[in-house]
């Protein structure tokens, strides 16, 4: 079964972009459309003003925004260190990203608990409640995928498999992770202002 | 898994060293794009047969609403009651599943899945897709999705029944009707799997086309098939995620107590509290934002296959290659800003409505350009009426007759009368249903030798063609008149209201045509499977085509070509080049041997191009020349 894959090798070098990286970008476009659709739905629904209750977002969401920004910074630092073959820093950077990623998840959970304690529940009186859960929840699903990627990268880093000549894994993961950071910042700004 | 390590290659990796291939790795979990294409084709054909059988059953119901249908008891069991009557809610279920199967499973996955997989690597000159593994996953997601959809047919409460557009509240309230329960849940699960499949496939197609073309294969040397598969994948990538979002919200409304789409629903229907303040129209926006691009996701691949088949079998370059690409791009872009034409009667702001009218009518322009180019390609061509060519011309015919009714529906003032009548049913079955099915059949007849290294039987092909085209027009053409007179769609029987009595005979006629059309497909199935098993062998390039797939050896090998991938020197439509030895020059033939300008294909497009070759008007047919000749002016010389 593996034999099929060797045949690509002869050609792969000539491609302008690595096909896997390209796929990652295309995948990101698809995720963008998912959230573009849902945030448009939010705007359209809000516009008819039926049963729409505005409320304050949990303060925690502000902190998680900072956390996810920090996690992007550590990952960026890890990738840069890998490029310089500084393996020790790579490990630190990736582990830090993993920890921050997990913290982000816990933070979102805490934010939801805060909302629940204020009687703003998922299937509550207003569609506006549900929308906040849907948007942050679907983002969180993608983050969980990212955290799993980070865990895999951690294993790789501790086996010394991330270095100057083996960057593909960390590059793919970085593209995805930074995108999720931007996506959350967008969603946060959107929910605060919309 | 370990496919990572294999792409971490060394430059001297063997090209096609054959490992032991087990049955499982070759036929089941195959990662070879050609095999995956066949898997899509088989599943698509199977789903197509199921969808067609459903349609024949409900056509029997519509044609003879008073008849005793107990002869169907062996198939439908309890859905035929003791007096021999079809259960009305099962009728709705069948219509829904028929639409869903045909639109998504046959004409999206079956059509794009088959031909994008088969042709993108072969015609671009790549050894396989960008990610064979993801490609395999794409098929298996499709497979699971089909299985789930089929299971829903066998539920005691019946399958989903709100129509293929699954509008809430019927789809959002599990208690609304029998099919709204588990059947609807399975529909949504199936659709979510399907979207996964479509996205994975589409990502692969896009990356392969943009990134993995062979040397010399510039975007303007791509066959139009590839252009249309590529744009289809782009449309899918941009619109399926939005449907995914819409379906998720629907799932939450059904099962988790939200009310995105629910308004003014009393408590006894929700089994809990009363639901106020949601918006069913919101769902329609999300659905049609996919839904309209979706109809082009269906049509574009069929148009692409047709372009190729018509050029090859007219032995002429496709007329207006660049205009074809521009109109594909135009259609792709416009298809995102017209979804509102499905919603003219939802009480939308009339100003917004007229914006949608304008955008919708503008789509007719690129569509008309394409039709014109097909006809101009045929014009004075050296036409070979192979079965594939017949079906391709059939597609053009349907595209014209169905497109014209689109113009009626695109005008909001008319659509307010025609919406939800049989006129719409006629429109979309002709322009999308039959047209795309014809494209798909044309593709199967044309590329069968590539897929199975055998030829199909031509005589049976012609018989199949004539029966199918007559039956298709017989079924759908009369529906225009019913629609104009206001007969609504999705009614279970037309014998209960006196106004409908005048349509009794016509309904019988339509049903007879539908049944003939259905049985005609047996000819195709027989031809297909018997040719797979014992068709006569084919040469490598049976149609004298120029594109790269015919330069690959007849025997399928992983990686498609032994030795190097061919380099491309010319555009894909060098048919009947004046002075050339054969009436086609494959894309991988360098220019040295040519007798005419060796630079590029431009010369064949310019009016009267090629200077001294004014005697070969078949090749140099062009609009300006046509009119100049028409008015007795001299043809322009380049
Ligand atoms: C000139 C081009 C076209 C125009 C102006 C046009 C316009 C329309 C309009 C206004 C409707 C809504 C009718 C209603 O529900 O009241 C409609 C329905 C539909 N059209 Fe078209 N159309 C065009 C071409 C196409 C093409 C090329 C396809 C598919 C390949 C297509 C597929 C459909 C389908 C599937 C529906 C019905 C969906 C449903 O309600 O179940 N149309 N068209
Ligand atoms: Cu439309």
Task: Tell me the CA–centroid distance for residue B340 and ligand 2, in Å.
Answer: 8
Banded pLDDT at B619 (limits 50, 70, 90): very low
Q: What is the DSSP letter of B593?
A: T
Domain ranges of chain B: 31-534
Banded pLDDT at B210 (limits 50, 70, 90): very high
Task: Tell me the CA–centroid distance for residue B439 and ligand 2, in Å.
Answer: 20
Banded pLDDT at B331 (limits 50, 70, 90): very high
Residue A30 touches partner B, C-beta closer than 8 Å: yes
Quote the tokens at residue B143. 């497979």
Q: Alpha-carbon distance A93 to A75, whole Å? A: 6
Above 50 in pLDDT, residue B12? no
Q: How far is A41 from chain B (nearest CA, A)?
A: 7
Quote the tokens at residue B209. 């086309």
Cα–Cα distance list, A120 to A55, A57, A109 (Å): 9, 10, 14
pLDDT tens, position by position, B115-168? 999 999 999 999 999 999 999 999 999 999 999 999 999 999 999 999 999 999
Q: Alpha-carbon distance B324 to B629, whole Å? A: 24
Q: By percentage, how much of chain A surpasses pLDDT 90? A: 77
Assess contact for B393 and B414: CB atoms under 8 A.
no
Mean pLDDT of chain B: 88
pLDDT value for B19: 54
Q: How many CB atoms lie within 10 A of CB B436?
A: 29
Q: What value does the mean pLDDT take over residues B260-284?
A: 84
Buried b (16+ CB within 10 A) or exposed e, B115-131: bbbbbbbbbbbbbbbbb
Q: How far is A89 from chain B (nearest CA, A)?
A: 24
Q: Which of B409, B416, B490 to mutate to test the pocket of ligand 1 (most atoms within 8 A of CB)?
A: B409
Residues lining ligand 2 (ion), CB within 5 A? B 292
Above 60 in pLDDT, residue A116? yes
Above 50 in pLDDT, residue B630? no
In-domain check, residue A7: no
Query: E strand or H helix at B190, and its extent?
Result: helix B182-211
Quote the tokens at residue B480. 């225009």
Chain Cα centroid distance, residue B17: 36
Cα dihedral A81/A82/A84/A89 (nearest 10)? 40
Determine whether the interchain pair A48/B127 forms a contact, defined as Cβ–Cβ distance below 8 Å: no
Q: Are strands B536-537 and B454-455 parallel, antiparallel or unpaired?
A: antiparallel
Above 70 in pLDDT, residue B616? no
Residue B322 touches partner A, C-beta closer than 8 Å: no
pLDDT value for B499: 87
What lines the ligand 1 site, CB under 6 Å? B 165, 295-296, 298-299, 341-342, 360, 363-364, 367, 403, 406-407, 409-410, 415, 418-419, 424, 427-428, 431-432
3 state DSSP class of B575: strand
Q: By percentage, how much of chain B surpasses pLDDT 90? A: 72
Above 60 in pLDDT, residue B213? yes
Task: Nearest by CB to A26, from B207, B242, B248: name it.
Answer: B207
Q: Alpha-carbon distance B303 to B316, whole Å? A: 17
Banded pLDDT at B269 (limits 50, 70, 90): confident
Banded pLDDT at A124 (limits 50, 70, 90): confident
What atom in ligand 1 is closest to the CA of residue B404? 1
Q: Alpha-carbon distance B549 to B12, whole Å? A: 25
Q: Alpha-carbon distance B220 to B561, whole Å? A: 23
Cα–Cα distance list, A188 to A56, A65, A66, A67, A142 (Å): 12, 8, 11, 13, 16
Assess contact for B55 and B437: CB atoms under 8 A.
no
Instruction: Find all residues with CB under 8 Å of B387, minimum gap 6, and list them.
Output: B445, B456, B458, B461, B462, B464, B465
With vertex at residue B120, the alpha carbon angle to CA B119 and CA B125, rounded to the nearest 5 degrees, is: 100
What atom in ligand 1 is closest to the CA of residue B364? 1
Q: What value does the mean pLDDT take over residues B225-244?
A: 97
Q: Alpha-carbon distance A92 to A94, whole Å? A: 6
Q: Alpha-carbon distance B480 to B38, whole Å? A: 37
Q: Which of B286-290, B445-449, B513-517, B566-570 has the lowest mean pLDDT?
A: B566-570
Q: Alpha-carbon distance B55 to B59, whole Å? A: 6
pLDDT value for B511: 97
Determine whether the interchain pair A22/B211 forms a contact, defined as Cβ–Cβ distance below 8 Å: yes
B82 or B631, which is more confident?
Answer: B82
Residue A130 touches partner B, C-beta closer than 8 Å: yes
pLDDT value for B264: 83
Q: How far is A116 from chain B (nearest CA, A)?
A: 15
pLDDT value for B95: 96
SS3 content of chain B, % helix, strand, coil (to 5): 65, 0, 35
pLDDT tens, position by position, B20-40? 677 777 778 888 999 999 999
Task: Tell me the CA–centroid distance for residue B428 and ligand 1, in Å.
Answer: 6
Banded pLDDT at B221 (limits 50, 70, 90): very high
Residues in chain A: 194
In this structure, what CATH number is given to the domain that contains residue A128?
Answer: 1.20.120.80
Above 70 in pLDDT, residue B275? yes
Task: Tell me the CA–centroid distance for residue B197 and ligand 1, in Å.
Answer: 25
Q: What value does the mean pLDDT take over residues B174-198?
A: 94
Residue B279 touches partner A, C-beta closer than 8 Å: yes
Q: How many CB atoms lie within 10 A of CB A194?
A: 13
3 state DSSP class of B572: coil
pLDDT value for B176: 87
pLDDT value for B224: 96
Assess contact for B368 and B332: CB atoms under 8 A.
no
CA atoms within 13 A on the CB side of B474: 17
Q: Alpha-carbon distance B28 to B21, whole Å? A: 11
Q: What value does the mean pLDDT take over residues A75-81?
A: 96
- What residues of A are in contact with residue B240 (Cβ under 8 Å)? 30
Q: What value does the mean pLDDT take over residues A140-148?
A: 97
Task: Tell me the CA–centroid distance for residue B128 and ligand 1, in Å.
Answer: 35
Banded pLDDT at B4 (limits 50, 70, 90): very low
Residue whose structure tokens are 């088969």: B118
Banded pLDDT at A3 (limits 50, 70, 90): very low
Chain Cα centroid distance, residue A172: 12
Banded pLDDT at B622 (limits 50, 70, 90): low
Nearest to B66 by CA among B492, B512, B425: B492
Q: Which of B105-109, B336-340, B614-618 has the lowest mean pLDDT?
A: B614-618
Whether the bond into A81 is cis, omega within 30 of 0: no
Chain Cα centroid distance, residue B314: 23
What atom in ligand 1 is closest to the CA of residue B164? 41
- What residues of A are in contact with residue B263 (Cβ under 8 Å)? 50
Superfamily per CATH, domain B31-534: Cytochrome c oxidase-like, subunit I domain (1.20.210.10)
User: SS3 letters for chain A?
Assistant: CCHHHHCCHHHHCCCCCCHHHHHHHHHHHHHHHHHHHHHHHHHHHHHCCCCCCCCCCCCHHHHHHHHHHHHHHHHHHHHHHHHCCCHHHHHHHHHHHHHHHHHHHHHHHHHHHHHHHCCCCCCCCCHHHHHHHHHHHHHHHHHHHHHHHHHHHHHHHHCCCCECCECHHHHHHHHHHHHHHHHHHHHHHHHHHC
Look at phi and psi of residue B145 and say left if phi exceeds 0, alpha if psi is from -120 to 50, else beta.
alpha
What is the number of structural domains in chain A?
A: 1
Quote the tokens at residue B173. 């309230």
pLDDT value for B161: 93
Assess contact for A176 and A146: CB atoms under 8 A.
yes
Buried b (16+ CB within 10 A) or exposed e, B602-624: ebbbebbbbeebeeebbbbbbee
Nearest to A27 by CA among A137, A157, A149: A149
Q: Alpha-carbon distance A95 to A75, whole Å? A: 9
Q: How far is A102 from chain B (nearest CA, A)?
A: 24
Above 90 in pLDDT, residue B467? yes
**Which ranges in B315-434 belong to alpha helices (H)?**
321-334, 350-378, 387-410, 412-418, 422-428
Residues in chain B: 638
Above 60 in pLDDT, residue B580? yes
Assess contact for A35 and A188: CB atoms under 8 A.
no
In-domain check, residue A73: yes
pLDDT value for B634: 40
Banded pLDDT at A2 (limits 50, 70, 90): very low
Task: Tell me the CA–centroid distance for residue B342 and ligand 2, in Å.
Answer: 6
Mean pLDDT of chain A: 90
Quote the tokens at residue A127. 């569609």
Banded pLDDT at B352 (limits 50, 70, 90): very high
CA atoms within 13 A on the CB side of B381: 24
Q: What is the DSSP letter of B366?
A: H
Look at phi and psi of residue B380 and say left if phi exceeds 0, alpha if psi is from -120 to 50, else beta.
left
pLDDT value for B571: 92
Determine whether the interchain pair A9/B16 forms a contact, defined as Cβ–Cβ distance below 8 Å: no
pLDDT tens, position by position, B407-424? 999 999 999 999 999 999
User: SS3 letters for B199-240?
Assistant: HHHHHHHHHHHHHCCCCCCCHHHCCHHHHHHHHHHHHHHHHH
Quote the tokens at residue A169. 């894994």
- What residues of A are in contact with residue B255 (Cβ under 8 Å)? none
Q: How far is A71 from chain B (nearest CA, A)?
A: 26
Burial class from Cβ neighbours inside 10 Å (0-12, 13-18, 19+) for residue B29 reads middle
Assess contact for B40 and B109: CB atoms under 8 A.
yes
Assess contact for B283 and B262: CB atoms under 8 A.
no
Q: Alpha-carbon distance B54 to B66, whole Å? A: 19
In-domain check, residue A105: yes
Q: Could you tell me the residue range of the domain that residue A178 belongs to?
A: 23-193
Above 80 in pLDDT, residue B476? yes
Banded pLDDT at B313 (limits 50, 70, 90): very high
Q: By percentage, how much of chain B surpasses pLDDT 70? A: 89
Q: Alpha-carbon distance B636 to B626, whole Å? A: 10
């Amino acid at each position: 079964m593996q034999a099929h894959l060797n045949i690509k090798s002869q050609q792969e070098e000539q491609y302008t972009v690595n096909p896997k990286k390209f796929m990652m970008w295309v995948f990101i476009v698809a995720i963008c459309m998912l959230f573009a659709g849902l945030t448009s739905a939010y705007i359209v629904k809000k516009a008819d003003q039926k049963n729409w209750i505005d409320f304050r977002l949990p303060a925690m969401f502000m902190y998680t925004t900072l956390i996810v920004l920090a996690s992007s910074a550590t990952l960026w630092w890890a990738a840069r260190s890998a490029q310089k073959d500084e393996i020790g820093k790579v490990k630190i950077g990736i582990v830090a990203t993993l920890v921050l990623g997990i913290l982000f998840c816990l933070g979102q959970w805490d934010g939801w608990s805060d909302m629940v304690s204020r009687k703003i529940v998922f299937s509550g009186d207003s569609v506006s409640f549900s929308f906040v859960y849907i948007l942050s929840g679907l983002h969180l699903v993608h983050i969980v995928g990212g955290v799993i990627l980070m865990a895999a990268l951690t294993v790789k880093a501790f086996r010394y498999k991330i270095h100057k000549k083996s960057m593909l894994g960390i590059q793919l993961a970085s593209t995805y992770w930074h995108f999720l950071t931007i996506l959350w910042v967008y969603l946060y700004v959107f929910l605060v202002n919309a | 898994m370990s496919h990572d390590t294999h792409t971490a290659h060394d430059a001297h990796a063997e090209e096609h060293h054959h490992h032991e291939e087990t049955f499982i790795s070759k036929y089941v979990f195959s990662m070879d794009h050609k095999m995956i294409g066949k898997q899509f084709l088989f599943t698509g054909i199977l789903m197509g047969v199921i969808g067609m059988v459903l349609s024949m059953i409900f056509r029997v119901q519509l044609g003879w609403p008073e008849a005793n249908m107990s002869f169907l008891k062996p198939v439908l069991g309890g859905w035929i009651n003791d007096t021999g009557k079809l259960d009305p809610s099962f009728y709705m279920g069948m219509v829904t599943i028929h639409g869903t199967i045909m639109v998504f499973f046959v004409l999206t996955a079956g059509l794009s899945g088959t031909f994008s997989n088969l042709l993108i690597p072969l015609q671009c000159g790549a050894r396989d897709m960008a990610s064979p593994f993801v490609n395999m996953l794409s098929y298996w997601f499709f497979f699971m999705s089909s299985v789930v959809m089929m299971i829903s047919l066998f539920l005691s409460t019946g399958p989903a029944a709100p129509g293929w557009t699954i509008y809430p509240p019927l789809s959002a309230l599990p208690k609304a009707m029998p099919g709204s329960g588990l059947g609807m849940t399975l529909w949504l699960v199936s659709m979510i799997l399907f979207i996964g499949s479509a996205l994975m496939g589409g990502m692969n197609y896009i990356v392969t086309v943009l990134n993995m073309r062979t040397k010399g294969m510039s975007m303007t040397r791509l066959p139009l098939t590839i252009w249309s598969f590529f744009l289809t994948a782009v449309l899918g990538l941009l619109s399926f995620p939005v449907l995914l979002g819409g379906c998720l919200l629907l799932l939450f409304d059904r099962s988790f107590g939200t009310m995105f789409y629910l308004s003014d629903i009393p408590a006894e229907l929700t089994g809990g509290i009363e639901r106020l303040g949601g918006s069913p129209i919101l769902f329609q926006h999300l659905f049609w934002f996919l839904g309209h691009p979706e109809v082009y996701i269906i049509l574009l691949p069929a148009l692409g296959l047709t372009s190729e088949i018509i050029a090859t079998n007219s032995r002429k370059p496709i007329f207006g290659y660049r205009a074809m690409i521009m109109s594909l791009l135009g259609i792709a872009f416009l298809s995102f800003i017209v979804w509102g034409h499905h919603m003219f009667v939802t009480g939308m702001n009339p100003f917004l409505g007229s914006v949608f009218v304008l955008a919708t009518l503008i789509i007719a322009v690129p569509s008309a350009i394409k039709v014109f180019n097909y006809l101009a390609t045929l014009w004075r061509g050296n036409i070979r009426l192979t079965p594939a060519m017949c079906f391709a011309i059939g597609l053009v015919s349907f595209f014209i007759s169905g497109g014209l009714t689109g113009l009626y529906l695109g005008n909001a003032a008319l659509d307010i009368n025609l919406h939800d009548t049989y006129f719409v049913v006629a429109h979309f079955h002709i322009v999308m249903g039959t047209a795309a099915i014809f494209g798909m059949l044309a593709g199967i007849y044309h590329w069968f030798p590539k897929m199975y290294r055998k030829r199909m039987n031509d005589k049976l092909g012609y018989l199949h063609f004539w029966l199918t085209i007559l039956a298709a027009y017989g079924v759908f053409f009369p529906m225009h008149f019913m629609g104009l007179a206001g007969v609504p769609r999705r009614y279970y029987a037309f014998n209960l209201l006196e106004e409908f009595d005048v349509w009794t005979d016509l309904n019988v006629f339509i049903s007879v045509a539908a049944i003939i059309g259905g049985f005609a497909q047996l000819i195709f199935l027989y031809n297909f499977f018997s040719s797979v098993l014992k068709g006569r062998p084919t040469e490598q390039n049976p149609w004298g085509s120029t594109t790269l797939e015919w330069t690959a050896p007849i025997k399928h090998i992983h990686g498609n070509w032994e030795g190097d991938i061919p380099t491309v020197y010319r555009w894909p439509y060098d048919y009947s080049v004046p002075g050339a030895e054969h009436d086609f020059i494959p894309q991988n033939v360098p220019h040295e041997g040519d007798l005419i300008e060796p630079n590029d294909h431009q010369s064949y497009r310019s009016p009267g191009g090629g200077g001294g070759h004014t005697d070969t008007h078949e090749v140099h047919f062009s609009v300006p020349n046509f009119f100049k000749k028409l008015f007795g002016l001299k043809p322009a010389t380049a």
